């Protein structure tokens, strides 16, 4: 039975990814910083998918020691790992010249280091299997700076670079690497914004794109998924 790891998987795009994977028969392991959100997720999934393994872990993905401990926990819990979605991330708006002290470090730790250490923690299992798929949740901010993007853009540019390097290292080992670069996507973070919901993408749009990329033949890989609102960026 296939197994997927989704970091930051209880809300928004992460939750949509978990939903599509478990509805297609995947066992899943999910992280978040809220134990309540994780417990609620597990309860819903166990009600609807009682025959699947739902593993949850409260992890602060910005902390190296917690990420590595979680990776070890996953390896002990699952013999086979098919998908890793490095989705955990944070956005602190601001300008490089005047953003709050520590903003760069916080977003580098959460948006980049989490993916780096999580991938290093489990990729040997994929290499042993001779197959697997790593999805790194980048952003349009990975290739296009915009006002108040600040250190968020720096961290996402770096994540795209990590993803490209990883692709080159793993392509001969049967492991696929896909960078996912979504534009504005509707989530709780947009609550209160004076915009119609249909102006933004749905989290399910991103999740379906990821699942479609996963389902290609072994001889093909989607290296980058750039997905934007139909009417353009915000």
- 234 pLDDT band, cuts 50/70/90, is confident
**Domains of the chain by residue range:** 3-227
State pTM to two decimals: 0.96
- Predicted confidence band of residue 196 (pLDDT cuts 50, 70, 90): confident
Angle, helix 203-214 to helix 12-23, in steps of 10 degrees: 50
Q: For the domain made up of 3-227, give the CATH fold.
A: Rossmann fold (3.40.50)
Pairing of strands 54-58, 132-137: unpaired
Tell me if 94 sits within 8 A of 150, measured CB to CB: yes
**Residue 189 reports pLDDT greater than 70:** no
Q: What is the 3-state secondary structure (H, E, C) of the chain?
A: CCEEEECCCCCHHHHHHHHHHHHCCCEEEEEECCHHHHHHHHHHHHHHCCCCCEEEEECCCCCHHHHHHHHHHHHHHCCCCCEEEECCCCCCCCCCCCCCCCHHHHHHHHHHHHHHHHHHHHHHHHHHHCCEEEEEECCHHHCCCCCCCHHHHHHHHHHHHHHHHHHHHHHHHCEEEEEEEECCECCHHHCCCCCCHHHCECHHHHHHHHHHHHCCCCCCCCCEEEECCCCCCC
Q: Which pLDDT tens digit goes with each residue over 198-218?
A: 899 999 999 999 999 999 999
Per-residue model confidence as pLDDT tens digits over 97-141 = 999 999 999 999 999 999 999 999 999 999 999 999 999 999 999
């Amino acid at each position: 039975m296939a197994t997927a790891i989704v970091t930051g998987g209880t809300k928004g795009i992460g939750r949509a990814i978990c939903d599509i994977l478990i509805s297609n028969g995947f066992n899943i392991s999910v992280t978040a910083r809220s134990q309540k959100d994780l417990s609620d997720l597990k309860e819903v999934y166990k009600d609807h998918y009682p025959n699947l393994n739902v593993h949850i872990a409260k992890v602060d993905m910005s902390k190296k020691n917690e990420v590595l401990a979680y990776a070890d926990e996953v390896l002990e819990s699952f013999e086979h790992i098919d998908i890793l979605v490095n989705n955990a991330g944070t956005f602190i708006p601001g300008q490089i010249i005047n953003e709050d002290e520590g903003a760069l470090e916080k977003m580098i730790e959460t948006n980049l280091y989490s993916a780096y250490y999580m991938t290093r923690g489990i990729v040997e299992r994929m290499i042993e299997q001779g197959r697997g798929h790593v999805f790194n949740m980048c952003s349009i901010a990975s290739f296009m700076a915009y006002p108040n993007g600040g250190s968020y853009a720096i961290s996402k540019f770096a994540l795209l670079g990590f993803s490209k390097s990883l692709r080159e290292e793993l392509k001969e080992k049967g492991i696929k690497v896909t960078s996912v670069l979504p534009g504005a996507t509707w989530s709780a973070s947009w609550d209160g914004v004076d915009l119609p919901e249909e102006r933004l993408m749905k989290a399910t749009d991103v999740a379906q794109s990821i699942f479609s990329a996963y389902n290609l033949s072994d001889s093909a890989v989607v290296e980058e998924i750039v997905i934007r609102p139909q009417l353009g960026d915000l």
